[in-house]
Amino acid sequence: MNTYQYLNSRVIFERAAKVIPAGIYGHLGPAEGCFIPVEAYPFYAQRAQGAYFWDADGNRFIDYMCAYGPIVLGYNHPAVEAAARAQQEQMNCGVLPGEIMVQLAEKLVSLVDSADWAFFAKNGGDVTNLAVMTARAHTRRNKIIKFAGGYHGVSQWMQFIGNAGIIEEDVSSVITLPFNDAQAVEQAFKRYPGEIAAIIATPYHHPAMADNALPEPGFWPAVRGLCDREGALLIIDDVRAGFRLSLHGSDAYYGFKADLICFCKALGNGYNLSALCGRDAYKEAVSSVFYTGSYWLSAMPMAAALATLTELERIDGPGLMTRQGTKLTQGLAQAAQQHGYHLKITGEPSMWYMRLTDDDTGVLHQQWVSECVRRGVFFTNHHNLFINTAITDEDIAYTLEVAHDAFRALRGAGQKGSI
């Protein structure tokens, strides 16, 4: 198989280096995005359609990061684009919201089990932060429990001590516990009686750079029971998993009910929108929080989101993504086995995590992923991956061909001693 070159990406990066911090900052950049080795990765995209994007050098990739989650129906989905365009022609950013905001809230309330209302913002972090503020407003308590490795955005309280710009006071009200350990949660409530406002957690544990873990039987019922007993709110951060497991919320998928639930990524198929949904009991509290933004009530992303949810419902998007994810991950694991490696798959098939377990450093896995990228399959080595509904059986077959070729390259490099 031919491998890609990225000359234009590098030329653009050198221009960026002069005017943009880090060239590309954040998770799309080579540093935070763990482009290892960096020469295997494109830096800039030119266009995207369906399951694919094309980089600045014209190389085509199957995008298994789905823009880190937002692309759930494939890029430029016709129904979503038509709805967005129609709304744009009417109004987007205005001095008053459009009726579309009410229609979208009604849709979320009808779909999501734990939603009696919806509050819209832009990014996932906007609504995880709002959820915590709402819990504090409702309970008049300070402390928040989260689980080690859980990611809830970039607000100060969500970060870690030692991160640039973070001071101890930012994180001093956050209690970090191991996921799937209801006993630890109970002990925390005992240690801080009447002080814990909320538990915030992803519906299953999908940290970066670590195997993912599904909730053990009894974990969520126990946590739900503890929150009820202690008067704390249970916040589910469904920013990443939302609408990839179930259209009714990932809490419903795992058989429990959140007090507040946060959505973003898949909500608008790439149009920028997030939503905090919750139960009636917290409607007044969320209303009381001073929280707004210039673009939060823009109408076009709401029209896109309504179309996205309608389409996901029509085609049973979560079911389709689970089936395709299962086919792909089983194929990848078999490919690894055929070449003498062990590829461990964890998490849910529609947004699986994988790593080669044959060395304890991760270098081998980083190398294999980079060989896939050079051949047109865009994986990352550190993060869970994503399926979207545009990924076809042919795409999966091609991905498996690439995976085999990448394993052959890995074996060859190992024999030459270059890994």
Partner 1 sequence: MNLERIRACINLHAILRNLEDLGDLDDDARTLLAGHDLRIGMHVPGIEPLTLAVKDGAIRAKRGSEAGSLRLQFASPRHFNGMVGGSSMPLPTGGFKHLGFLKGNFAALAKDLEKYLRPGADDLKDPAFRDKNTRLTASAAMYALSEIANADPVGRQIARAMGEGTAVIEVPGVLAHAIQSKDGRLTTSRYEGQGAQAFMRFDSLDTLGQVLLGELDSYLCIGRGQIAISGRVPMMDNINKLLRMVSFYLA
Binding residues vs partner 1 (CB under 8 A): 13, 17, 21-25, 29-31, 34, 36-39, 43, 160-164, 168, 209, 360-363, 366, 382
Report strand pairing: 60-63 vs 52-55.
antiparallel
* Packing angle, helices 299-315 and 99-111, rounded to 10: 30
CB atoms closer than 10 angstroms to residue 100: 22
**95/164 with CB nearer partner 1:** 164
Identify whether the C-beta of residue 263 lies closer than 8 Å to the C-beta of residue 253.
no
* Minimum separation from the CB atom of position 102 to partner 1 (A): 44
Cα atoms in the Cβ-side hemisphere of radius 13 Å centred on 40:
22
Residue 30: CB minimum distance to partner 1, A: 4
Q: How far is the CB of 55 from partner 1 (least distance, A)?
A: 15
**Taking the complex as a whole, how short is the minimal distance between the CB of residue 27 and partner 1, in angstroms?**
13
Closer Cβ to partner 1, 263 or 379, answer by number: 379
Contact assessment for residue 243 and residue 312, using Cβ atoms and an 8 Å cutoff? yes
Residue 226 beta carbon to partner 1: minimum distance, rounded to whole angstroms: 26
Based on CB atoms, which residue is closest to partner 1, 97 or 362?
Answer: 362
Enumerate residues 6+ apart whose C-beta is below 8 A from 58: 46
Using alpha carbons, list the distances in angstroms from residue 301 to 62, 84, 97, 285: 25, 7, 12, 26
Task: Please say which residue, 38 or 320, places its beta carbon nearer to partner 1.
Answer: 38
Per DSSP, what are the bridge partners of residue 145? Answer: 175, 199
The distance of closest approach from Cβ of residue 381 to partner 1 in the complex, given in angstroms and rounded to an integer, is: 8
Among residues 3 and 103, whose Cβ is nearest to partner 1? Answer: 3
Give me the phi and psi of 287, to 5 degrees please. Answer: -65, -30
Nearest distance in Å: CB 23, partner 1: 5
* Between 93 and 209, CB nearer to partner 1: 209
Cis peptide before 37 (omega within 30 of 0): yes
- Least distance in angstroms from the C-beta of 168 to partner 1: 7
| 266: its two tokens | 């898949």
- Left (φ > 0), alpha (ψ -120 to 50) or beta: where does 300 sit? alpha
Question: Between the CA of residue 282 and those of 43, 51, 342, what are the distances in Å?
Answer: 43, 39, 47
Nearest to partner 1 of 315, 363 (CB atom): 363
Q: Closest CB to partner 1 among 40 and 108?
A: 40
